[in-house]
Chains A and B, each alone.
Chain A
């Protein structure tokens, strides 16, 4: 079983729509959680950390459910520039991170 699993998508949504997706992680001892964004053929960039109480950053909302071991990301009022692959990332051991394979979002005009 993979340590971090994501629905690969793609999620195709019109501009202005809300899109949400989850990832699940296998290690209950996981300590830190992040969402990264990766554009085609580019490096991943940190989008936001995910806190136990849930957190927002502008149009982006992240939630953590430790009991069910999943993390979610919701994007409101989607923009064309939100089109990317979103990577779910979990830290469970020292400095090492585990990366999901990513969820692809395509926002259409």
Chain B
């Protein structure tokens, strides 16, 4: 079955540690995205990538980094510079800009 997978589902880290969240898709979509969701707020865009080896900052990129070495994969690293990293992180992909985006199941990151 085609879809988007994210791992792990839950992640706990100590303050000051970098952590990498995985996102893989087998939908053959060119565009991929990372969002974070906080209670009572809409999803906010962290980074997006329209094609392999290219990515752009979203609205809240500070403290995050990404890579897009393969079409299928778009990992997100939450660095120790991110001031408030505890959140629900969602990865998405889309076939083109006119259509909606499809989301993975998300990773809940808790920084202790």
Whole-angstrom CA separation of A94 from B33 in the bound complex: 13
Q: Do A96 and B42 contact each other (CB < 8 Å), given the known contacts A32-B98, A43-B105? A: no
Which of A34, A43, A44, A89 has the most C-beta atoms of chain B within 10 angstroms of its own C-beta? A43
Question: In chain B, residues 63-105, which have Cβ atoms closer than 8 Å to a Cβ of chain A?
Answer: 88, 90, 94, 97-105
Whole-angstrom CA separation of A8 from B48 in the bound complex: 27
Whole-angstrom CA separation of A63 from B93 in the bound complex: 25
Question: In chain B, residues 40-71, which have Cβ atoms closer than 8 Å to a Cβ of chain A?
Answer: 40-45, 48, 50, 58
From the candidates A43, A49, A98, A101, name the one contacting B103 in the complex (CB within 8 A): A43
Whole-angstrom CA separation of A101 from B97 in the bound complex: 21
Q: Range of interface residues on chain A?
A: 20 to 34
Residues of A contacting B: mostly: strand
Q: Within the complex, what minimum Cβ distance (angstroms) separates A50 from chain B?
A: 10
A76-109: CB near B (< 8 Å → 1, else 0) gives 0000000000010101001111111110000000
Q: Within the complex, what minimum Cβ distance (angstroms) separates A70 from chain B?
A: 16
Q: CB of A46 within 8 A of chain B?
A: yes
Q: CB of B21 within 8 A of chain A?
A: no
**B-binding residues in A (CB < 8 A):** 2, 4, 8, 32, 34, 36, 41-46, 49, 87, 89, 91, 94-102
Identify 9 residue pairs between A and B in the complex whose beta-carbon atoms are under 8 Å apart, listed by A's number: A32-B98, A42-B105, A43-B90, A43-B104, A87-B43, A94-B97, A96-B45, A99-B42, A99-B43
